[in-house]
């Protein structure tokens, strides 16, 4: 298949191409901090000073017990030599997994349409031939906006969908635009904070109606609100449609991620909640409940293959808001089910939004747009 190269001017964002840094949000501690109850309370107060607003005394005591359990677990885990990743006392360290899932996940999936075409024969051949580079990262090509934070709202589906639209729009038009998750949450009908929602619904909305620039809609609130947009006056970014990558096929997913960032769904776990750095290969299931974006893939110096996954829990979580997740494992579903439901927007017309917010559209260099 012929590969078309679109050369665009101006350098990559400062955030693109930088090495993934160790999480700045994890509070450091030593074994001494865990030695006595008094020391643990001091550690908890230190952690609260970084991550938490004040709570009433009853709640604080209950949260301390959860924090203590998590701190002990993090310490014990990080002493192991057989794991390629580390955990930390991040902003979620006083939460149980159930509490965390209710506030910070929220993705739902739809039953796949067996009659819908997924990928052309040519693409499958290229996957089989391994006709893609060993490592690739869309951040190096300015097709990824800065990491965002969904807050205590089950809106990961809105972020994963919107961010995927931002990326395909940047690849096709050369304009990296910040789009509004709040508009998607308020207006798309694809879901809400309490019960979660569907990335496919975000793509359907972006196809039929379009998503406004972030600066043209009220800021993100981490809560549902009424739709506050004048469709007749507000510039919209639209897509042409959306497709699914073949399920349970990491080779096919690798090829598609090479073409564009892809919305993927995973099951959140306790180790994922407390993840700090490294290649994640921890225990997790395939009950998909969290939507994220695969923006690339790579290989460590000792040969461990991984996905580069963008999250929506802020840039203090993980490696600057990202997680590296082990790739090409024996289970066909992939780590945490990452290969079960990959879905991506399609866009062919380089029709950029116009009007307010033009200054937020830096052009990028070096995009390579493949068409199947």
pLDDT in tens, the chain (372 residues): 333 333 232 233 333 332 333 345 899 999 999 999 999 999 999 999 998 766 777 889 999 999 999 999 999 999 999 999 999 999 999 999 999 999 999 999 986 654 343 443 334 445 544 689 999 999 999 999 999 999 999 999 999 999 999 999 999 999 999 999 999 999 999 999 999 999 999 999 999 999 999 999 999 999 999 999 999 999 999 999 999 999 999 999 999 999 999 999 999 999 999 999 999 999 999 999 999 999 999 999 999 999 999 999 999 999 999 999 999 999 999 999 999 999 999 999 776 554 433 333 333 333 343 332
CA torsion angle 286 192 315 280 (round to 10): 0
Q: Which of 90, 169, 216, 311 is catalytic?
A: 311
| Count of CB atoms situated within 10 Å of the CB of 46 | 15
Helix axes 250-259, 121-129, angle to 10 degrees: 100
Query: What pLDDT score does 350 carry?
Result: 77
> What is the DSSP secondary structure assignment for residue 220, as one 8-state letter?
P
Domains of the chain: 3-22+104-370 (3.90.70.10), 31-89 (no CATH)
Q: Active site includes 290?
A: yes
Token pair of 164, please?
Answer: 């995927």
Query: What pLDDT score does 221 carry?
Result: 97
Q: Contact 84/279 with Cβ under 8 angstroms?
A: yes
Q: Which of 156, 187, 284, 336 is catalytic?
A: 156
What is the C-alpha to C-alpha distance for residues 274 and 79, in angstroms, rounded to an integer?
15
Q: Active site includes 351?
A: no
Q: Which of 90, 153, 175, 290 is catalytic?
A: 290
Closest to 25 in 3D by CA, of 101, 95, 108, 87: 87
Type and span of the H or E element at 69: helix 57-78
Token pair of 12, please?
Answer: 């990559």
């Amino acid at each position: 298949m012929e590969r078309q190269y679109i050369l665009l001017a101006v350098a990559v964002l400062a955030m693109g191409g930088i090495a993934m840094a160790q999480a700045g949000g994890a509070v450091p501690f030593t074994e001494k901090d865990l030695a006595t109850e008094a020391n643990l309370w001091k550690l908890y107060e230190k952690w609260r000073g970084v991550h938490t607003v004040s709570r009433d005394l009853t709640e604080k005591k209950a949260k301390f017990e959860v924090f203590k359990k998590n701190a002990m677990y993090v310490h014990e885990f990080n002493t192991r030599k057989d794991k390629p990743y580390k955990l930390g006392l991040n902003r979620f360290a006083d939460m149980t997994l159930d509490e965390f899932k209710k506030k910070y996940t929220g993705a739902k999936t739809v039953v796949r349409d067996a009659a819908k075409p997924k990928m052309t024969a040519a693409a499958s051949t290229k996957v089989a031939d391994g006709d893609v580079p060993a490592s690739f990262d869309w951040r190096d090509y300015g097709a990824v906006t800065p990491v965002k934070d969904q807050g205590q709202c089950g809106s990961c589906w809105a972020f994963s969908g919107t961010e995927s639209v931002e990326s395909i729009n940047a690849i096709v038009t050369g304009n990296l635009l910040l789009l509004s998750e709040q508009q998607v949450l308020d207006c798309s009908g694809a879901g809400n904070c309490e019960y979660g929602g569907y990335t496919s619904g975000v793509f359907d909305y972006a196809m039929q109606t379009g998503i406004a620039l972030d600066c043209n809609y009220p800021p993100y609130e981490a809560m549902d609100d009424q739709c506050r947009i004048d469709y007749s006056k507000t510039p919209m970014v639209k897509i042409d449609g959306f497709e699914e990558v073949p399920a349970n096929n990491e080779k096919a997913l690798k090829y598609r991620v090479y073409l564009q960032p892809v919305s993927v769904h995973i099951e959140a776990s306790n180790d994922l909640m407390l993840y700090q750095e490294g290649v994640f290969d921890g225990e997790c299931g395939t009950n998909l409940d969290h939507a994220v974006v695969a923006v690339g893939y790579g290989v460590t110096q000792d040969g461990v293959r991984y996905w580069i996954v963008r999250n929506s829990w802020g840039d203090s979580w993980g490696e600057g808001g990202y997680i590296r997740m082990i790739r090409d494992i024996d289970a066909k579903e992939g780590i945490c089910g990452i290969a079960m439901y990959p879905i991506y927007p399609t866009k062919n017309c380089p029709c950029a939004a116009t009007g307010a917010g033009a200054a937020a559209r830096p052009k990028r260099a070096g995009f390579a747009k493949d068409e199947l």
